[in-house]
Structures are given as structure tokens and as C-alpha cells.
Amino acid sequence: MSDAYLALEDGRVIEARGRASGRTRGELVFTTAYTGYEESLTDPSYEEQVLTFSYPLIGNYGVREERFESDRIHPRAAIAREFTDDVVEWFDSEDVPAIDHIDTRDLVTAVREEGAMKCGIAVGDDVTPEDAKEELANCKGMSEHTEIGAQVSTVDHETYEGGGETDVALVDCGAKMSIVDSLNERGADVHVLPHDIDAETIEALDSDVLFISNGPGDPANFTQAQSLVEEFVGEIPLAGICLGQQVIARALGGTTEKMAFGHRGVNQPVRDLNTGKVVMTTQNHGYTVGKPGDLNVTQVNVNDDTAEGLENDDLNVITRQYHPEAHPGPNDSLDFFDDVLAMTENETKAVVSD
């Protein structure tokens, strides 16, 4: 074990037990998920953040690569009441600092009351509180990470075959592999494309659906994905998840805004405004759609009324703020992917209003 210090934007410096050594900084957030730590830690949407687990024991069923959502851990550091040795070995292998023996209830309460905050972490045999404070002093806000897309996106065009019934162009802004799997399982071939892919490549693919993925940070920084939506809306069906919903809304005249502490967990209730049905959903985002622009709000969060589903039948657009593919979490909303592929049956071209 080693020394560890967590310096918070509110001025506190908290002493902890060091489990995986290193020094880093990021936006402190928490998840209420009580299982699926492997999926959470490999979710690209946690890039540039420090993830606190509210569930007290993390690592109790080991680490299995087949559960990963990407090829690496994305949070800059991890915090829990207690980590098992198995998960600590994983942190060590990827040089990700980790601390435990900390009152995570107090930490979660602080984030809920004060909002997601900058933090600095120092772990090692000879670290001091000043080391953590130095990391904090150099921490950027999430909107300042203007190149975050390049940190999480594929570099090359990758194709995942699902049977060839339909063809999906997935713009990878930090996509979870479960999105690809969910489309493949429904017979769709998926082209995973870089976040800054050009319109000419999309046009040459002649795909049936243009899909904007989830991803980390401020949607305002994903300008190329937004311009793709502006280019192809009304010409090809459009879908988006999480950050993808925000990018599409911005492209169609909407606005986005940063939330106090976001939605991160597997028990967020969402109500469908047409049916009144409530489903439990998995979520991981710190930004939300303010005004929907040319889209209609079809689903809202029961807790705070934020937009969870946006649609426009005339434009062939459907988006979700939550993760229908879950992993971890409930499978109540997997039919979203059926709805996405069903849009390919509607070939009507539309014109976006000014």
C-alpha cells in the first residue's frame, strides 16, 4: 500500500489508501451502478474524468476482457470504498491511479451538492498533499478538452458484419462496442468511422443510416460530427445515442448545456410521453439538450424532466440520451435499435426548416 491524496476544487484535501500509483487530474464524477464495473471503466464517455463508485466493493467478481466496452480504461483515475486485488492489478497494468479506504458517501454527497468538480490525485510511497494540489491546479474544465474526440475515436475505417440486411455508418465519438453488437445482432453491417470523417466518405459508403455515437465531454467540441448531420439530414435516416443526441440537436437548431453532476448509473427512470410507460435506463453523461430545435421531445427523465428521447418523423431522425444497449444495466429499451433500422423503410426526403 502507498500514500494517497485527493485534492478537490472545494478546497479539501482527503487522505486515502493508495492502491495503484500515479499522479493525475480530471473532473470528479460518480456512478450509482452496483455492478458492471468492467463496462463502466472501459466506457469512453469517462475520458478525462475521475470515476467514483458509490457501491462500496468494486472487483468482487474479477476482471474479464470479454465484458470490456473498449480496449482500455478511460477514467483518469478510480475511487472506491474498497477495491479488490484483481481490479487493482488491472489498474496497475494500465497505469491508472486508484485509491480506496475513503468515505465515498461523503464524496458523492459533495458532488451532488456542489456539482462535478475538478480534482487532483497523487498516489505513491513519497507523495504529499502538495502533489495532489499541483495536479488540481493544472486541471482543465471539460469544455476545454477541445480535442477529446481524437483521444477516444477510431483512427481507421473498421467494418463489423452483421448479415448485410442494412448498412450503418457509425461516427465514432467514443462508441461503446455494445452499440455495434446491438446493430450486428439485428442483421446490420456497421462501419465504425473516425469522429472527424468527411462528408465525401459518408456519401461514398451510401449507408442506410447515419449514426452518431456516445462520447465524452462537451458536444460543442464535436464540430465535424455536427456538420455531417447538417449535411445529410433529410437525405438519410439519422440516429444518435447520448452525446449523439446532443450533437444532432445542436445541428438542428437546438442547444445543449452542462448539468450540475450529470446522470451516471443504471437506474434512471425515463417516461415515454406518448404511452406514459416508464423504463429504467443506463446513463453516463454530463451534458443535456436544452432546446430541441427541429426535433420533438418524446421521452423525459422522471427525476428532472430533461430530454431523454428526440424524434422527427418527417426528417427520419431518432435519438436517445440514455444507453439502450446498457452494459451494465437493464435491457428495457433495446427496441430502440429496431426503431432505428425501421427508418430505412421510409425513403421520403425532407427539407429542414430555416
Domain that holds residue 16: 2-140
Which of 47, 119, 325, 327 is labelled catalytic?
A: 325
End-to-end CA distance of the chain: 61
Query: What is the structure's pLDDT at 205?
Result: 97
Query: What is the structure's pLDDT at 1?
Result: 66
* Residue 173 and residue 96 share a domain: no
Query: What is the structure's pLDDT at 217?
Result: 97
The predicted-structure confidence for 30-86, as pLDDT tens digits, reads as follows: 999 999 999 999 999 999 999 999 999 999 999 999 999 999 999 999 999 999 999
Q: Which of 339, 335, 283, 276 is nearest to 308 (CA)?
A: 283
* Residue 285 and residue 223 share a domain: yes
* Residue 208 and residue 130 share a domain: no
Query: What is the structure's pLDDT at 352?
Result: 43
The answer to whether residue 325 is catalytic is yes
Domain-terminating residue out of 140, 166, 182? 140
| Domains in the chain, number | 2
* Residue 75 and residue 187 share a domain: no
For residues 9 and 121, give the distance between their C-alpha atoms in angstroms, rounded to a whole number.
12
Q: Strand 166-171 vs strand 209-212: parallel, antiparallel, or unpaired?
A: parallel
For residues 206 and 351, give the distance between their C-alpha atoms in angstroms, rounded to a whole number.
19
Domain-terminating residue out of 108, 140, 172? 140
pTM comes to 0.95
Annotated binding site for L-glutamine: 45, 215, 217, 243, 246, 284, 286-287
Residue 222: phi, psi to the nearest 5? -100, 65
SS3 labels along 124-162? ECCCCHHHHHHHHHCCCCHHHCCCHHHHHCCCCCEEECC
Query: What is the structure's pLDDT at 345?
Result: 84
* Residue 190 and residue 122 share a domain: no
Residue 352 within any structural domain of the chain: no
- CATH code of the domain containing 285: 3.40.50.880
* Residue 119 and residue 252 share a domain: no
| Cell numbers standing for residue 117 | 468538480
- CATH code of the domain containing 20: 3.50.30.20
* Residue 96 and residue 163 share a domain: no
The answer to whether residue 139 is catalytic is no
| Cell numbers standing for residue 62 | 474479477
Residue 267 within any structural domain of the chain: yes
* Residue 92 and residue 108 share a domain: yes
| Cell numbers standing for residue 319 | 435519438
Domain-terminating residue out of 70, 105, 140? 140
* Residue 100 and residue 227 share a domain: no
The answer to whether residue 242 is catalytic is yes
For residues 119 and 49, give the distance between their C-alpha atoms in angstroms, rounded to a whole number.
9
For residues 340 and 158, give the distance between their C-alpha atoms in angstroms, rounded to a whole number.
21
Residues of the chain with pLDDT under 50: 348-354
* Residue 240 and residue 331 share a domain: yes
Residue-by-residue DSSP string for 68-126: -SSSS--SSEEE-SEE-HHHHHHHHHTT--EEESS-HHHHHHHHHHH-SEEEEEEEETT
